């Protein structure tokens, strides 16, 4: 089989911001769509990961454990071909993705030059310099409680810029990467209500579940609004840092939720009175389990956008 061009996409975010959960929800999200995009593992261990994680989210109803090692998955997004006017037959497009999911600690500012942190940074940089797609996860709840999103951004970002400059990969003054900034945990009542107060909710009419959504144009506004409540107030700098280092047309904001909202069983529609999709676990009082079926929101869109951008640039690593 002809070796398809592979695109490297790296997940970037603080520990517990939902990187592994987002990947776990990817195949469920694709199954929820009615176009025929699908995801297939390109080696046995990557497809094993897809099946395990999907069953963990749907039947096991539990969140993935904190990842301890930097994982690399080889997947292929297969979907409908480009529908141009002149195209007579429909061909399939296939985007080869190499997803890199590093534990959040890799991005943390290293306290002192401990050997391990050095090694972890090397490992991380090796991936980031190769990849041209980045999924940056901004966890508003963590930002509200701890406020260290900027710490997990500027360290690795400067190191990345240094390495790219050294390898002369800058494109007219900015990094060549395409970056999808995902605001996660949209299903948390505090985030949903913030969006509602700012009147950023625009329901998607043909969505039979009538989930509240934040359009891509408003997502940037919601990001700014959520940064304002940061515990250390350093969140505004995240926006500026992103604008400085990435081209304006290569940044896109998405408001995402890996587990989505709880749907009323009978009406299968969103119910403003009862939408929390988490239920406390009796056995271990503090534990939270996923309550109902999972309806990921905006989990596939960033991947597709990144895939298409990378394919367009013909950049294959």
Partner 1 sequence: MTESPATVHHVTVDYEWALEGKPPGSYNDYEVLEHSGGLGLEIFDEIRSRYTTGATGDQPQVTIAFVGTRQGGQKLYYIVLALQNEWSGHRDGTNRKIYYTRWFYVPYDQIAGHRVSYEALYDAFKDLGDERPPRVAVRADANLPSETFEDAISAAGLLMTGEPVCVVGAEQVPMVKRLRFIDEVASLLPYGMRARLAAATWVSATAGHRIRLSFAPHAPDGTHKVVWARGAPIPPAERTATAYVEQLTHRRVPLEELVERLAQKTTELPFRDKGPHIALVLLGECAVPAAKNHAVAGPSSADADEPAAGGDAPTQILESPPKGAGQTVAMPRPPTTLGGLIISFRKAVDPAEISEGLRVLLAAADTDEGRRQLQKALRTWDCFEAVIRRHPSADRLYEELAEAAFAHDIYQNEIADELLRTRAIPKPFKAALRAMRGEDPGPGWKRMLPRKGKRHIYGGSALVVGGVLLMITSLNFFSGPDLPVAPPAGSAPAGVAFVPQQVVIQADEPDQYLAHVYAQLLRNLGHRADVQDVGPLDPARPQIVITTDSAPYPRHEPLMTAQSKSTLVFDADEIPADRVESVLKEAKLTVEVGTDFPDEAKLKAEFGELPLKRKPISQIVEDIKGGEVALAILPSGRAEIAPPYQESPLLDGLLPPRTVQVLSSGLPAGTEANLEGVAERVAEKWRTDPGGADQPETAAKFADSIMPAVEPPSTPPATPVTTIKDADGFTVPTGVLVFVGAVLILIIGVVALVWSPARVPDEPW
Partner 2 sequence: MTTESEAHPVPNPDDDLLRKALAKAVAGLTGSGRLDVVEVAADGVTSFKIIRDDHGVPRGRRWHTQWIDLAQEHGAQEHGAQERGAVLRAADIDPDGDAVLVFSSPGGSRAEQAFEWLRSARPDAPALRVDDSVATVVTEVLRTDPLTRSYDLVVLRPRTDGSLELATVPLFPVQARPGATTTLPLHCERGGPNGTAFAVVTWQGHEPLLLSVESAALPPGSYEVTAELRRPGRVRFSGLPPLSADPRGWAALIAEVPPRLPLRPSGAGHLICAIEVCGVEEKVAERVGRARQVVSTLSNRPGLAVSVVAYGAHSFDRSVKDPRVEVRAWRVDVATAQGVLDELEDRGPITAGYPYHPHAAQLEDMLATVDRRLAADPASPVALLTIGDRPPHPPRIDSSRVLPCPHRHDWRATVTRLEQTWNVVFGAVVDHQAGGPLPRVWQRLGSAALANFDALDIRGLTSGLGLTSDPVPVPFPLIDVE
Q: Which does 43 bind (CB under 5 to 8 A by kind): partner 1, partner 2, none?
A: partner 1
20 contacts: CB under 8 Å, gap ≥ 6: 53, 64, 67, 101
132 binds partner 1 (CB under 8 A): no
Residue number with CB closer to partner 1 (94 or 276): 94
Interacting residue with partner 2 among 83, 282, 312, 314 (CB under 8 A): 282
Residues 6+ apart with CB under 8 A from 106: 70, 120, 121, 123, 124, 156
Distance, C-alpha 74 to centroid of its chain? 17
Contact set for partner 1, span 248-287 (CB under 8 A): 284, 286-287
Q: Does 138 bind partner 1 (CB under 8 A)?
A: no
Compare residues 60 and 105 and give the one whose CB is closer to partner 2. Answer: 60
Closer to partner 1 at the Cβ: 139 or 218? 139
Q: Stretches 45-53, 164-172, 212-220, 256-264: which one binds partner 1 (CB under 8 A)?
A: 45-53
- Contact call for residue 229 and partner 2 (CB under 8 A): no
* 292 is an interface residue for partner 1 by CB under 8 A: no
Decide whether 275 or 305 has the Cβ nearer to partner 2: 275
Judged on CB neighbours under 10 Å (0-12, 13-18, 19+), 248 is exposed
| 147 near partner 2 (CB under 8 A) | no
- 162, 245 contact by CB (below 8 A): no
Find the binder of partner 2 among 111, 113, 208, 285 (CB under 8 A).
285
CB atoms within 10 A of CB 171: 12
HEC per residue, the chain = CCCCCEEEEEEEECCCCCHHHHHHHHHHHHHHCCCCCEEEECCHHHHHHHHHHHHHHHHHCCCCCCCCCCEEEEEEEEEECCCCCCCCCCCEEEEEEEEEECCHHHHCCCCCCCHHHHHHHHHHHHHHHHCCEEEEEECHHHHHHCCCCCHHHHHHHHHHHHHHHHCCCCECCEECCEEEEEECCCCCHHHHHHHHHCCCECCCCCCCCCCCCECHHHHHHHHHHHHHCCCCCCHHHHHHHHHHHECHHHEEEEECECCCCCECCCCCCECCCCCCCEEECCCCCCCEEECCCCCCECCHHHHHHHHHHHHHHCCCC
The answer to whether 209 contacts partner 2 (rule: CB under 8 A) is no
Question: What is the smallest separation between the CB atom of 209 and partner 2, expressed in angstroms?
Answer: 15
* Residue 265 site contact among partner 2, partner 1, none (CB < 5 to 8 Å, cut-off depends on kind): partner 2
> Which residue in the set 44, 283, 312, 314 belongs to the binding site for partner 2 (CB under 8 A)?
283
Q: Which is nearer to partner 1, 56 or 215 (CB)?
A: 56
- Shorter beta-carbon distance to partner 2: residue 83 or 265: 265
- Contact pattern from residue 63 through residue 102 relative to partner 1, giving x for each residue in contact according to CB under 8 A and a dash for the rest: xxxxxxxxxxx-------xx-x-x--x-xxxxx-------
Query: Minimum Å distance from CB 86 to partner 1?
Result: 8
Residue nearer to partner 2 on the CB measure, 12 or 262: 262
Q: Which residues bind partner 2 (CB under 8 A)?
A: 189, 265, 273-276, 279-283, 285, 289, 291-293
Q: Which residues bind partner 1 (CB under 8 A)?
A: 1-5, 14-16, 40-46, 48-49, 63-73, 81-82, 84, 86, 89, 91-95, 103-106, 108, 113-120, 123, 142, 145-146, 148, 284, 286-288, 308, 311-312, 314
């Amino acid at each position: 089989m002809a070796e398809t061009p592979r695109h490297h996409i790296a997940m970037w975010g603080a520990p517990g911001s939902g990187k592994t959960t987002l990947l776990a929800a990817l195949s469920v999200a694709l199954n929820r769509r009615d176009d025929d995009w699908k995801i297939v593992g390109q080696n046995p261990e990557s497809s094993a990961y897809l099946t395990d994680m999907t069953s963990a989210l749907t039947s096991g109803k539990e969140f993935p454990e904190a990842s301890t090692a930097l994982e690399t998955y080889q997947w292929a997004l297969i979907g409908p071909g480009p529908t141009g006017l002149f195209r007579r037959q429909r061909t399939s497009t296939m985007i080869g993705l190499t997803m890199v999911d590093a534990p959040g600690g890799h991005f943390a500012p290293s306290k002192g030059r401990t050997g391990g942190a050095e090694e972890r940074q090397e490992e991380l940089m090796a991936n980031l310099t190769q990849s041209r797609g980045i999924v940056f996860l901004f966890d508003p709840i963590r930002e509200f409680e701890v406020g260290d999103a900027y710490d997990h951004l500027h360290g690795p970002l400067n190191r990345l810029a240094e390495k790219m400059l050294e390898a002369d990969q800058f494109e007219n003054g900015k990094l060549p990467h395409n970056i999808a900034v995902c605001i996660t945990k949209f299903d948390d009542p505090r985030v949903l209500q913030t969006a509602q107060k700012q009147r950023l909710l625009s329901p998607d009419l043909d969505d039979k579940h009538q989930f509240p959504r934040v359009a891509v144009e408003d997502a940037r506004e919601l990001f700014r609004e959520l940064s304002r409540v940061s515990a250390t107030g350093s969140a505004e700098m995240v926006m500026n840092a992103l604008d400085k280092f990435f081209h304006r047309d290569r940044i896109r904001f998405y408001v995402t939720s890996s587990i989505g909202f709880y749907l009323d069983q009978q009406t299968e529609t969103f119910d403003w009175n009862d939408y929390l999709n988490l239920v406390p676990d009796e056995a271990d009082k503090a534990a939270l389990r996923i309550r109902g079926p999972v309806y990921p929101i905006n989990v596939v869109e960033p991947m597709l956008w990144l895939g298409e951008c990378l394919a367009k640039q013909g950049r294959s690593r």
